[in-house]
Structure 1
């Protein structure tokens, strides 16, 4: 409890004004406001509970949410509104006082002495901008659309995404050609013909993008594997301990069945199988919070090719990190999955550079097979 309270206290301190330019009076005032608030529960942001509707969020509001299709608007804008004046501050975390503090209203008159601080501030802003772009891109489950207007800006979000996705110069990519309005009142036949050609070029870009072939209808065995996979994710995320089907476990079972849309005829056997897997002695350390530092289900990341990938379960221990991939509808054969797990290991090793990353498959019979 003490550790959790200290962690919450530090999070509040960092969240006040985004942890920048802190002052003790401002922090105490924020604590008084939180204490006086009628609803003391944390702000959970906007929750996308609606169905097939269009929702418009800022990137910050969209944190934690996902959607099949995400459209990033006005991504070519590099002009950010600034205050009439601002603070230039360099205060190392371990230092008792700032190394530099000054006010400015324009970087043009910064002078040579303050140039290194402005450079460091700009690097920090670029890094934060890339972090925000990562958040925006990983909200999309199936498709990400990025649009912008005005002159092409290489350092904008649109420019960065276009450079990665096309691999060619913007002027050589037909998708990045500026839209030219067609003037029907052109004074010469040559101009009218040129206008029609431009209209044809623009219309060609509006054709539906290929979305692949429709997947074949899944078999009952495949659907049972999908349901069991989802049930394992749900039980692991809510830390429901293995227990008998009757009695106090019936409530959780009914809730999981409704949430995951599992047919009643399949729920009992799937529940037993999931509880059996979670009760396996070899798997306890991956699902019991007492044994690990942190764990994440359906953890998203973007690989080197810009593809959105998801890890079924990632568990962090003191000296190592385990990546678990559920193969609940297959026989215990790790060979077909070595390439997939090798990519997971390579990606996570860059995140957890100081720890050993290990990968394993979890099969339906409870076998844990490290790859």
Structure 2
């Protein structure tokens, strides 16, 4: 007899499920071999199956060998770890006593706390409130919190206050922007899963605007609504990924290589409750229409009609095989799991097997990650920016055309944003930031690092980045002007001789940006927006050039 199984620690594996998993693993290994050994692009590969379950198993197998893929079906939103992490964070903000949600949020890439950090938090809470133990002021002599928990101590109270006033989308947007969630997730997950992870974040944001017509005005009600139901999220298509499709869904499409899975399925049980319709093409109405309880006990008077129905099913089966085979331009690969019993007629595998040759898998080392093509990767990096996708003709007049100079300016801008938000520390850290900014905008890394360093080290600019005069500073500060959303490159509050002064700064690498009317109008518009927000304060504005010169505009 089979031994007892502890259901809490040992999963149940049905024999057929194990075999189907093995088939999916072999197909994934074959795809990995084609991409790494034969140079086939992932986008040039289709995988077809009559059932979606086989495609789901393959998706897990492709994820294990780190091959990018795109599924053709809508997935449950909460199947994505990134979506669950965001929901847990919202739940912790609106219900701080929910320890499990708080623990999940702390372990997410947003904070990156370790198991040891959670144990330390639990010990400091002493079976009490984790939230209170986390946010309360540190006592003298206590060991400092880890970097992840220090970050949580800074951000969570701020978001907790915001959750009491903001609707779900505005709160989520603030969390994603202030917490740099996209960037942190992109840096944490494997490259092959990066697109799906970022899409899950966007799907949660979209649901906050579309779920039940955005009727949920508070984060609490939004969290409860998501927990009550299984929300589907549309899976976006990706150009450089293996496409997982049903045979029916692949009609009209072609690919260089096509895999067809589950070509020898388990035979179906005898149909029950069958509707038989005898309706010749030339007739105006059916001759006979009958409900048959079981095809195995079909009345003799309906035997001919049942034979016609079975022939139609066989013809449809062959039509499906034709559709699957005709999708391939160069190479067609079939896979199957041997069934426990065989059907009466030949399967697709039986028909194709004698005419095919075995597929030779690559042996040796474990599969290496398969990277997407360079162009789509750059597009995804661009999608990590917090800048909204809104047309603002006065905000970025140098955005078009996208020249080498404009890309260099954008990269320098990004490096300054990162460097001033979080001190780079070592030269290696500075070089990493410069390299990341350069890759994002396809700019030369050396030029990006040099120009940003000139600005940061310039005596003319120093007061805007460091020193005792600097009371407050922000990058990419959103302001509203005339109903438009604008973003100021850098906004600082300086202690000057008479009173604090707000400075609106706009980075322009040109030596004389003040000579361009469009730039001047843009900067003055920023200043006017800040003046309305701070009516009793002095507000000044200036360009910061690539030479580290501050050019004030009156």
Q: Which TM class, normalised by the smaller chain length?
A: 0.3 to 0.5
Higher-helix-fraction structure: 2
Q: Greater relative contact order: 1 or 2 (C-alpha under 8 angstroms, separation 6 or more)?
A: 2
Q: Which has the larger radius of gyration?
A: 2
